[in-house]
Chains A and B, each alone.
Chain A
Amino acid sequence: MDLIERYLDAVRFFLSRAQRDDILDELRDLLMTRREAREAELGRPLNRMEDEALLQAFGHPLAVAARYGAQQYLIGPELYPIYAFVVKVVLACVALGAVIAGIVGAAIGGLGHGVGVTMSVIWTGLFVSVGAVTVVFATAQRTGAGRRMLSRWSVADLPSLTRRRRRKSQPQWYENVAGIVVQTIFILWWVGLIQLWRPDIPVTGGGTLHFAFAPALQVLYYPVLAAAAGAIAVNGLKLASETRPIGHVLDMMVQVALVALAGYALHTTPQVLVTGVGLPPLVAAKVAYGVGIGAEVTLIVIICSAVLSLGLDGWRLFRALPTTRRATNGA
């Protein structure tokens, strides 16, 4: 096969299907014209080495195809500072989670086990947490949501210096950091990287109780993971950005997702399956009944607190609106 055709075939692989043939036709014409111009200079056809040199000078097929891409980066310069900040916070949380998991692991299975658990949490936690944050920000970049968020701000929403000084003494940022830490630990637990309690609990007098989520709840695995990653991103944005309304709006979206997820789980009974090994069936049934009530109460509390948080964020947003309007009218 002609070298130019082999080269174009390599470029084809990296081009979008919609424009592929058109771009390749144009590149073919360009390369043929280059070859003919060189042949006219030399007064003879190019040999294989000269053909190779011509294509070498044109560039790597991937680099050539990349120039035709609509989006040249995963996370653009506008969102990158916030992304970098959130990743740093998440990495710190993974490190903290790894230390805690290591201590717990060492207490249960000795120093070697503890070190193993720490390394496992760091290794896998890095990919899961940084990957989740990257997916959230890349989606914001791709859909233009990040750019729209950054364009909707008002000078009136900037905190006054006195408010800023006052805020320094207020524990508001602790809420966001705590949110990031809790959600990161939750993600690590949710994906099975750390174990917060043993699934098999020995019972006095012999026998064990085994706890597991109901299979019907498995459909919530990825939505819950996405909601937790979203909560981390929102807390990171609130920490990094002074534009409070954006944070409140995103927070409200996460809270709505939380209400929907908890509502679905509440609708599915039982949420937790309890099985007893070496226990009278009546004992296991009583425990299952108690755990079922506990799970439902927990879900109701989650829904209530999410609704409360929604109302609070809605109120903060409502209070922020007149300030913006005042600034607009005054301009």
Chain B
Amino acid sequence: MPVEDDTYEKLRLELRRGSLVLAVLAALKVERYGYTLRKELADAGLEIDEGALYPMLRRLETQGLLTSEWREEDKRNKRFYRLSDDGADLLAELTAEWRAINSSLNRLI
């Protein structure tokens, strides 16, 4: 792979990393399990690798931003995630920050 493509890919992933957390928090205002969350994000145009999504969910839960519950659905136990109260507060702050960045970038780009 040429150096330019490699650099682009690294920067693109860096750019996406922070925004994916925001997207996951926003999508979990409604309770979802991993598969449906990933599908929801993909339908919105944000593909995320499962290998990255599941550890991220666990990390966000450890940070107190999500709550989770094991429940049976389709004859199988699934872990459902939902935004916690702290997560909702943080989502509001991050959304404001996102809009500010977006607005600044729009003026610059």
List residues of A whose CB falls within 8 A of some B CB.
19, 23, 25-27, 29-30, 32-33, 58-59, 63-64, 67-68
Contacts and interface: CB of A to CB of B under 8 A. Distances in A.
Interface of B: 33-35, 50-52, 54-55, 58, 70, 76-79
Given A32-B76, A68-B58, A26 B34 contact: yes
B76 A30 contact: no
Contacts of A26: 34, 54, 79
Contact of B51 (A19, A23, A25, A64): A64
Contacts of B34: 26, 29-30
A58 B54 CA distance: 12
Cβ-closest 5 pairs across A and B: A67-B55, A33-B35, A68-B55, A26-B79, A29-B78
**What is the predominant secondary structure among interface residues of chain B facing chain A?**
helix
A30 B53 CA distance: 11
**What is the predominant secondary structure among interface residues of chain A facing chain B?**
helix
A25 B79 contact: yes
Contacts of A27: 54
Contacts of A19: 58
Nearest to B73: A29
B52 to A, nearest CB: 7
Interface centre among A27, A33, A63 (most CB of B within 10 A): A33
B37 to A, nearest CB: 11
17 contacts: A19-B58, A23-B58, A26-B54, A27-B54, A29-B33, A29-B34, A29-B76, A29-B78, A30-B34, A30-B50, A30-B54, A58-B50, A59-B51, A63-B51, A67-B51, A67-B54, A68-B58
